Amino acid sequence: MLGIEIVKDEDSREPSVEMANAIASRCMNNGLILFDGPGGSVVRIKPPLTLTKAEAGKALGIIKEAIAAVSEGAT
């Protein structure tokens, strides 16, 4: 399991539940299920033990796109 804490900005490191929810929702719409973590500002990734390199790459691409889109203001 991996966890990513979502914060409003790097300087304040204030947790952002809203951004975490938007990222998880965008990932879900693109076929990747993320789980919420402590405080709601952490998204958790629980890949299966049989995960292939190609599947991991696809998942990371979905997460990267979602983070970029939400950071730019899209939801």
Enumerate domains of the chain plus CATH numbers.
Answer: 2-71 (3.90.1150.10)
75 confidence band (pLDDT: 50, 70, 90): low
What's the pLDDT score for residue 10? 85
> What CA–CA distance (Å, rounded) separates 5 from 51?
23
pLDDT higher than threshold 90 for residue 46: yes
How much is the pTM? 0.88
Closest CA to 3 of 41, 31, 29, 30: 41
